[in-house]
Chains A and B, each alone.
Chain A
Amino acid sequence: MAFDYAPAPESRSVVDIAPSYGLFIDGEFREAADGKVFKTVSPANEEVLSEVADAGEADVDAAVRAARRAFASWSALPGAERGKYLFRIARILQERSRELAVLETLDNGKPIRETRDADLPLVAAHFFYHAGWADKLSHAGYGPAPQPLGVAGQIIPWNFPLLMLAWKIAPALATGNTVVLKPAETTPLSALFFADVCRQAGLPRGVVNILTGHGAAGAALVAHPDVNKVAFTGSTAVGKQIARTVAGTDKKLTLELGGKGANIVFDDAPIDQAVEGIVNGIFFNQGQVCCAGSRLLVQESIQDELLDSLKRRLGTLRIGDPLDKNTDIGAINSAEQLARITALAETGEAEGATRWSPECELPGSGYWFAPTLFTGVSQAHTVARDEIFGPVLSVLTFRTPDEAVAKANNTPYGLSAGIWTEKGSRILAMANRLRAGVVWANTFNKFDPTSPFGGYKESGFGREGGRHGLEAYLDV
């Protein structure tokens, strides 16, 4: 049974949201050249939070020019000095983490428990980690004096807005590049707030430029002839388009794209821990996670026991106000994403899989989708193949480790995988054979700035985090 809790909402008054924001170019906020704006709403209740500038091609050009101007002096700074700016940023982010957590929850719809306990601590850690690299690059294994690339054009998604910003900006700055970053159109606010963090840290103008806008601005950024490096996190379809755009140029490219992670549970797994891992794997951030464990592969002999436990556990998840500290599952980020999840779930039913959701009341306004399980799923089902990017878990079964490996690898993606078993040798054998960039054994969805993250196959290329992540921003 689910315990009843009184509402425990985090105060939204800790953060001031201006009625409108401009683009952050060359150290100043300015309107878009053509004056266009768009609104950003809270997905939990569709309340308009603010109005932000909608960058066009002229703004992209202005931002790239500003970044280019800043590059000469930024890259010439002694690494120790560059590092100190990053340390400052890390500290300011820690100081202002409550504001940012509330802001992120408002703009994204994810529970405050996650922004407070996962996103923000990782954001600060990412800057702190990379700050230390700035004066140690000659020890990183990329030669005695690795050089930065120049201007980095970076495009990030809406699922972890500030964390993805940190993954992009921290290594770029540590290695001496300057940045033009475009946040997703549904989650522009935390990136604009970050611009203010840069101001407080005294970061030289033009080193970081933030362009809010839509896909066209991203495409213009990728295609800009004076951009030396493109880093993108988002859908595989857009990633492929970007790869075509940069073909034949000298631009260095890293892509972190979609996934259809297999979470594999063997018959000797500790069931309660596995259930927690499964829930964390697919319902963390409403399943809007590229490395989500969206395919549960359970050994046939324990299927009934595991699914009973899983369903019982899903019945205790609390869905609702993301600002409530007790909330487990928040809102879907946008109406568009909700429509996509809804359509794919309907396809799952139409193709004959069995759909199940716990009884739960969804709020009347905003974008919501109940946690959903599909059982009786075969490899050919759409819900087993396509990335849903929502709180939808497809359950498949296997009998032997070989079958588990074959099914897990039977996808064009290769980002993440999970293994649940008490047998050490089986963990290692499985981990060896899974074609995925991150393998979580008896845990799931763990992240750390020291730990390289990124995919095999169509989940993209390049790594973010750790020593490996530096390569993406160095001329090697």
Chain B
Amino acid sequence: MSESAAKKKSAGTSGPGGTGKPGKSGKTGRPGKTAVKSADSAGRSGAAAVAGAEQGASGGAPRLSVLKTYKLFVGGKFPRSESGRVYEVTDSKGGWLANAPLSSRKDARDAVSAARKAFGGWSGATAYNRGQVLYRVAEMLEGRREQFAAEVADAEGRTPAAAAAQVDAAIDRWVWYAGWSDKVAQIAGSANPVAGPYFNLSTPEPTGVVAVLAPQESSLLGLVSVVAPAIATGNTVVVVTSERSPLPALSLAEVLATSDVPGGVVNVLSGRAAELGPPLASHQDVNAIDLAGAQGELAVELEIAAADNLKRVRRPAPVDWTADPGTDRMLGFLETKTVWHPTGALGAAGSAY
């Protein structure tokens, strides 16, 4: 079996709603050289798909490849935009890749409703459970790394090796945050020695529904780097993908759907930041907004709109997404709750007990 055919087969078993058995792509999953080659061939097969035909593994008759209809991810389901609109997504050379949904304000509102609905369960889950779910995302993504390497290469015009490195970093980022979920309260909380007979404990809690404008230039790693820290601590997210390169993010939704991430915890919208940003920034049931993917005037406009219900705002800033992510994106969308209770006294004053 050629590498190209192996790739096609594995992709075919892991569509939306599929179980995405990671074992399949394990055949091509030998790390290093093979993986890179595989990504390369996948990239070429993408170009062949545009031409409309491809040599089948059985030889002879040309086989028409099956294209994917990219959809939104809202409340654990894969709807089209309610507006019925799509926009053309091209690779870095202008070649057609797909029609992505062009989300509307209504889609944004639906996504916020789904995120709010999911918040109670997700924030109430144990940190250990959330950590395992995030780790499961890494597992599922690992199983589809060739597919994502190809998509990232197409989306960002990267060499196969560079694209694969982005995917690997994105997988590792899920692992990083998976391990943080049950440690963040220990570094962000405190026992406070108040001057009185009181037990006093500060613990971090998730802020709530976080709207995220994902970075424009880093379609997968950047998006994972802003979504994972928010949900690791129990927030739920509505994320607007990179406008130009939404496909890796939309495919990531398929991974999330098969990784035990409860529906509504992450909602993925493709479309225009300038169209989706304002309804999210002014939405009264959104608690925070990450403006990573907003630029210039739009970022200022959104920060002003966010003041209406005092959203926590993370302003855009240049970030090297490949660098050590640290903890600040995780700590930025937390509230500190401090609980007091009298300690009382046992026995008579002066008792040794």
Q: Which residues of A contact B (CB under 8 A)?
A: 125, 141, 236, 239-241, 243-244, 247-248, 255, 257, 412, 427, 431, 436-443, 446, 448, 450-454, 456-458, 460-461, 463, 466-468, 476
Give chain A nearest CB distance to B80 CB in angstroms: 33
Q: Which residues of B contact A (CB under 8 A)?
A: 187, 190, 192-196, 198, 200, 202, 207, 287, 299-300, 303-304, 306-310, 312-313, 328, 335-342
The chain A residue with its CB closest to the CB of B328 is A476
Within the complex, which residue of B194, B335, B342 is in contact with A442, where a contact is CB–CB below 8 Å?
Answer: B342
Give chain B nearest CB distance to A465 CB in angstroms: 8
Besides the known contacts A236-B310, A437-B336, A454-B336, 14 further A-B residue pairs in the complex with CB atoms under 8 A apart:
A247-B300, A248-B299, A248-B304, A431-B337, A439-B339, A440-B340, A441-B339, A441-B340, A446-B340, A448-B196, A450-B193, A452-B202, A453-B338, A456-B335
Give chain A nearest CB distance to B71 CB in angstroms: 33
**Residues of B close to A440: CB separation below 8 A:** 339-340
Whether B300 and A466, one on each chain, are in contact in the complex, defined by CB atoms closer than 8 angstroms, is no
**Residues of A close to B310: CB separation below 8 A:** 236, 239-240, 243, 255, 257, 457-458, 460-461
Q: Main SS of chain A's interface residues?
A: mixed
Give chain B nearest CB distance to A278 CB in angstroms: 16
Whether B312 and A468, one on each chain, are in contact in the complex, defined by CB atoms closer than 8 angstroms, is no
In the docked arrangement, what's the CA distance between A427 and B339, Å? 10
**Residues of A close to B202: CB separation below 8 A:** 451-452, 466, 468
**Residues of A close to B299: CB separation below 8 A:** 248
In the docked arrangement, what's the CA distance between A240 and B340, Å? 29
Supposing A437-B337, A441-B341 touch, asked if A240 and B307 sit within 8 A by C-beta, the answer is yes
**Residues of B close to A476: CB separation below 8 A:** 328
Whether A244 and B307, one on each chain, are in contact in the complex, defined by CB atoms closer than 8 angstroms, is yes
Supposing A448-B200, A456-B335 touch, asked if A427 and B340 sit within 8 A by C-beta, the answer is no
**Residues of A close to B300: CB separation below 8 A:** 247-248
Within the complex, which residue of A439, A446, A466 is in contact with B337, where a contact is CB–CB below 8 Å?
Answer: A439
Within the complex, which residue of A451, A456, A457 is in contact with B340, where a contact is CB–CB below 8 Å?
Answer: A451
In the docked arrangement, what's the CA distance between A457 and B299, Å? 21
In the docked arrangement, what's the CA distance between A441 and B199, Å? 10
**Residues of B close to A125: CB separation below 8 A:** 195
Give chain B nearest CB distance to A457 CB in angstroms: 7
**Residues of A close to B190: CB separation below 8 A:** 452, 466-468
Within the complex, which residue of B200, B309, B337 is in contact with A458, where a contact is CB–CB below 8 Å?
Answer: B309
**Residues of A close to B313: CB separation below 8 A:** 247
A-B contacts, 17 listed (Cβ < 8 Å): A243-B303, A247-B303, A248-B300, A248-B304, A255-B310, A441-B340, A443-B198, A446-B194, A446-B198, A448-B194, A451-B202, A452-B202, A454-B336, A456-B207, A456-B335, A458-B309, A468-B336
In the docked arrangement, what's the CA distance between A468 and B313, Å? 18
Supposing A437-B336, A439-B340, A463-B336 touch, asked if A240 and B195 sit within 8 A by C-beta, the answer is no
Whether B304 and A244, one on each chain, are in contact in the complex, defined by CB atoms closer than 8 angstroms, is yes
The chain B residue with its CB closest to the CB of A444 is B340
Give chain B nearest CB distance to A50 CB in angstroms: 33
Within the complex, which residue of A239, A248, A438, A460 is in contact with B338, where a contact is CB–CB below 8 Å?
Answer: A438
